[in-house]
Amino acid sequence: MRIRIIRFCGVLWFACLLSFSVAAQDSKKQDPRFHPVPMNPGPLGSAGYITLLPIDDRPAVGQFAQMIGAVADHKVTMPPKEMLGRFAVPADTVRVEQWLKSQDYSKTDALIVSVDMLVYGGLVASRTHKVSFDEAKKRLEFFRWFKSKYPRVPVYAFNVIMRVAPTATAATRGVHDKLARWAELKDRAPKSGDVKLTAELEQLTKELAPAVIEDYLAARKRDLQINLAMLDLVKAGTVNELILLQDDARQFGLHRQDQAVLRTKLKELSLESKVPIYNGTDEGSLSLVSRAVLDKFQYKLKVAVVYSSEKSRDLISPYEDHPLQSTVENQIRAAGGIPVSEFDQSDYRLFVNAPGTSDEEFDLFLKKLLKELKENRHIALADVLFPKPHFSGADERIIAALKRENLFDRFAGYAAWNTAGNTLGTTIPHANMRVFFRSKLNDRADRAARTEAAHLEFLLNRFAGDYLYHDIVRLEINARLRAEAKTDEVTYEFTPERYAQINREVGEKLKAQTERFFADYFKGRTHRLAIYKGVEKTITVSGLNGLNIYLPWSRAFECVIELKLDYQAN
């Protein structure tokens, strides 16, 4: 009875504040344990609280989740960074579980858990067989412990389906590409019956040490067993929501056989419509932060998708094994949205710049994007073209147009990094939280001011990371390193001395680039919040503080960008 009363009061408060109702069909789909914790009405209290165990210590999996949560005024709490391991050094899973069990969940709206961190000590650790299946499965008991102790708190989990290749490190330089190709051919050669592919597979089997293949297959078998065990926890109601993320993939490979086993199990458990399998990994925590907030208020955002070309819908992006449209729609659903046509009514519009687009189609796409940004519509951009020479970053044709029109701060969400899944899984959760807060939770001027600043901080972070770093700074550094070493492998993992040198260089160069970009496109801009008691409230961005940039791991693949914006509110 007490739970029902709390739930009723929470929903009643939300309805009064927002003056909108939730469709009956959506309400029926909600787990009865899902209910809002009322927003703290005080001037400093957050609108909500989420506890997150990320997949490792990189910015894309933890810092991004915290910044996206702040866009909807939700505080995301994580373990200390030093507890999460670093690159090839796994986290101490005992300490991680102790941290989870020691948290105060009295005000927590949701618990989000990376299964790979919980049972293996992180993503990289999941690709090696240093943890047995029995050890890993024992660590899943945490979920039963948590649900018995905190039945009110919904549990969201994300679990990775092992990718084709091992992690690119100094230790795997000699076998990385060969092992990935071997795993691809183990699936492709028998299916195709191609004699040449079969011969290539046999040759690779001879070249690779048996111990390397055995460790790879043992890790893959164990990971699949944990994937399957997680489905049982969902069926039992111990885990409320689960997403299965396919790490870097190819059209063929042993991962496809794993997926087939999982789909069979999903069908047996009648979970096909509840647990998705789709391309992505790093962005899982971001999607579930968005999903948890929207579930809390029993709301789903309609997202209209605008592709740069109809042809691009059916193309398979690099490191993925399903058409782009499948990735787009799965990412929208995982983050708590509903994909709709660009011609349908929606909460916001997601523009997807993708391969397979002619120059004429691109010109029309860009013209439409700029027009709608100028009209102050809710617009997000997922730039998944990844053109030469960087293959991971922004399309500079779009950047040039945004500079010309000075529109960088108009986006509801933006990303352009690494893979289509990574980019979409960053853009969509950010846009979800931006649009949902602005249209549904905008109850106080002080709360609106800090979420506006949080939104602009993440936008600046993404343009600094995805454009300034990947298109300019990283490209320049990698080109020099490869020219000096005459091999691509030099960028896999730096020696301590090289790391110190490159880390310093990245910090200096990207800091200067970011400061200029901020001065040109963010500083001095005034942003309207809303009208409160007949008075229009705004904030004006006045400064950039605490800019700190460094490489989180001994490689140049990504960087941490920490920053805060100063602003004045009227």
Q: What is the pLDDT of residues 446-464, one digit of tens each?
A: 999 999 999 999 999 999 9
Give the C-alpha separation, 279 to 424, whole Å.
10
The amino acid at 376: N
Judge contact between 255 and 162, C-beta under 8 A: yes
For helices 474-485 and 496-521, angle between their N-to-C axes, nearest 10 degrees: 150
The amino acid at 432: N
Rg of the chain taking only CA atoms, in angstroms: 23
> How confident is the model over 505-535, as pLDDT tens digits?
999 999 999 999 999 999 999 999 999 888 9
Give me 501's structure tokens.
Answer: 């040198």
**Burial of 545 (C-beta count, 10 Å sphere; 0-12/13-18/19+):** exposed
The percentage of the chain sitting over the pLDDT mark of 70, rounded to a whole number, equals: 92
Strand 535-550 to 526-532 pairing: antiparallel
- What pLDDT band is residue 10 in, cutting at 50, 70 and 90? very low
In terms of phi and psi (left: phi > 0; alpha: psi -120 to 50; beta: otherwise), the region of 73 is left
Residue 290 phi/psi, 5-degree rounding, is -60, -45
SS3 assignment, position 278: strand
Among 294, 289, 336, smallest CA distance to 440 is for 294
H or E element: which one contains 560? strand 560-569
SS3 assignment, position 366: helix
Q: What is the model's pLDDT at position 7?
A: 42
Kindly tell me the number of DSSP H helices and DSSP E strands found in the chain: 19, 14
User: Is the pLDDT assigned to residue 211 strictly greater than 90?
Assistant: yes
> How confident is the model over 272-320, as pLDDT tens digits?
999 999 999 999 999 999 999 999 999 999 999 999 999 999 999 999 9
Mean residue pLDDT of the chain comes to: 91
**Burial of 409 (C-beta count, 10 Å sphere; 0-12/13-18/19+):** middle
Q: What is the model's pLDDT at position 533?
A: 86
Give the C-alpha separation, 542 to 526, whole Å.
9
Give the C-alpha separation, 210 to 233, whole Å.
35
Judge contact between 277 and 259, C-beta under 8 A: yes
Segment 420-428 shows an average pLDDT of: 97
Helix residue ranges per DSSP H, 43-126: 63-71, 93-102, 115-120
Q: What is the model's pLDDT at position 489?
A: 63
User: Is the pLDDT assigned to residue 11 strictly greater than 50?
Assistant: no
What pTM did the predictor assign? 0.91
